[in-house]
Homo-oligomer: A and B are copies of this chain.
Amino acid sequence: MKSFQNILIYGLGLMGASLSLSLKKKNLAKKITGVVRSEKSKLKGIELNIADEIFTEKQFLNQSWNQFDLIVFGLPVDLTCEKILLLPLNFSGVITDLGSTKKEIIEVVENKFSTSHNYISSHPMAGSEQTGLEFAKDNLFESKLCILTKPKNFNEVVFVELKQFWESIGSITIEMNASEHDEVLTYLSHTPHILSSILVNWAYQNKKVQEKTDSFPFPLTGGGFRDMSRIAGSNPEMWDAIINSNKKNIIQSLKEFKEEINKLAQELESGNSKEDFWKEYFNNSRKSRSKILKLKE
């Protein structure tokens, strides 16, 4: 695998910082430079030895992009798009991001680079309900999927290098185009995140739930609810950007989910369901789950 001399991770949040630690653990970069938003994050990053050199965004303004041979944007999608506009057109290194939606990023890249370029978009499907570099883990990407998306005019050598880069820290790579990516992720990540966030608000809005919860020192939930609510409300800024960059798919998927709720509510209200209606529904769910998670039945 190509080894990088000076990697820039622009945005040392949970994802960017975990990438830095993963690379350091495997000795895959000679030097890693990180950019953070605040002075406070910079101090925290230095204390936790997240990168070899850390700049705040302001401090980084004087720096040249050309000193790096790999640039990774670890930012919300909207900010990633803004930064892409600042890149030098003749940048000779590899460029990527960690964005959770692809359509906007790929559009910006294709508008920016009208001839051959070194940008390939990445979506490592790892994360946590926690936010910030203090929760970074050096094994966050191990055995996790990383989806690679090629803009027009991409450089084939760079694609191979980036694929190897992710595989070298233990990720499993797959390629999808931007439209496929955004549609598939709508169902497997974006809208589930919204549903988990609805779940906790909806439950806590119930007066009885609120009264009983507030008056008892322990949570009234079992493991099912706890699992379903794990990602609820996590990283509002990142998710705001995801939702706003994938609206059309999300609206469509919400409608479908609502239709499915309607169907089941009507079934319950009708009072004349087939005897095995629910058993069949749940058996079907079990099968769908096994298919999606690749479990043996």
Q: Contact: A229 with B292, CB < 8 Å?
A: yes
CA distance A198 to B217 in the complex (A): 32
Q: Contact: B233 with A230, CB < 8 Å?
A: no
Q: Contact: B240 with A279, CB < 8 Å?
A: yes
Residues from chain B with Cβ under 8 Å of A244 in the complex: 278
- Interface check A25, CB cutoff 8 A: no
Contact of A227 among B174, B184, B230, B268 (CB under 8 A): B230
CA distance A205 to B263 in the complex (A): 15
Q: Contact: A257 with B198, CB < 8 Å?
A: yes
Which of A45-53, A55-63, A67-75, A283-291 interfaces with chain B?
Answer: A283-291
* Nearest opposing residue in chain B for A128, CB measure: B223
CB distance from A251 to the nearest CB of B (A): 5
Besides A236-B281, A240-B279, 11 new A-B residue pairs in contact (Cβ under 8 A), listed by A number = A126-B222, A187-B202, A188-B222, A192-B228, A195-B195, A195-B199, A196-B224, A198-B261, A200-B292, A223-B230, A254-B268
Sorted nearest first, the 9 A-B pairs with minimum C-beta distance are: A233-B286, A233-B285, A236-B282, A197-B285, A204-B288, A200-B288, A125-B222, A224-B231, A240-B278
Cross-chain pairs A/B with CB under 8 angstroms, 16 sampled: A184-B220, A187-B206, A188-B203, A188-B225, A197-B285, A204-B288, A204-B291, A217-B294, A219-B294, A220-B292, A229-B293, A233-B283, A239-B282, A240-B278, A251-B269, A258-B261
Q: Which residues of A contact B (CB under 8 A)?
A: 125-128, 144-145, 172, 174, 176, 180, 183-184, 186-189, 192-206, 208-210, 212-214, 216-237, 239-240, 243-244, 247, 250-251, 253-258, 260-262, 264-265, 268-269, 276, 278-289, 291-294
